[in-house]
Amino acid sequence: MDIKISVLIWTHFLVRTQSERIVEMGHKRAGPAAPHQPNFRAGAVETAAYIAELSGDLALLARRSGFDTLAYLLDIARLEADNIRASGGRRS
């Protein structure tokens, strides 16, 4: 199996697993009043940190493959996620 395909499959697995954990955390924090509605604000800092890390890794992968514009856009996403994380989950 090609190494790039292996990395993409593994990345997809990690993203899906982390997303499921974030949603699960939201359900636990939502409390009994709204068990079907995840509380996404409760995990905003963790979510932003994860997005920053993942988009940085994807930017590196894109840059290595010669996708400069995609790498740039992923870097912008990383910076925005870092700003959200640093502000405690508040959007600018």
User: In the chain, which stretches have pLDDT less than 70?
Assistant: 1-42, 92
Domain with 81, as residue range(s), is 3-86
10 belongs to a structural domain? yes
Residue 27 lies in a domain: yes
- Alpha helix segments (H runs only) across the chain: 3-30, 44-64, 68-86
Q: What is the pLDDT of residues 15-36, one digit of tens each?
A: 555 555 555 555 554 444 444 4
Say if 26 falls within a structural domain.
yes
Residue found by looking up tokens 């932003």 in the block: 48
pLDDT of residue 35: 46
Q: Are 86 and 57 in contact (CB under 8 A)?
A: no
Q: What's the angle, vertex CA 44, arms to CA 42 and CA 45, rounded to 5?
A: 110
Whether residue 92 lies inside any domain: the answer is no
pLDDT of residue 30: 46
Please count the structural domains in the chain.
Answer: 1
Round to whole Å and give the CA distance between 11 and 27: 24
Q: Is residue 91 part of a domain?
A: no
Q: In the block, which residue shows the tokens 């600018």?
A: 92
Task: State residue 90's pLDDT score.
Answer: 76
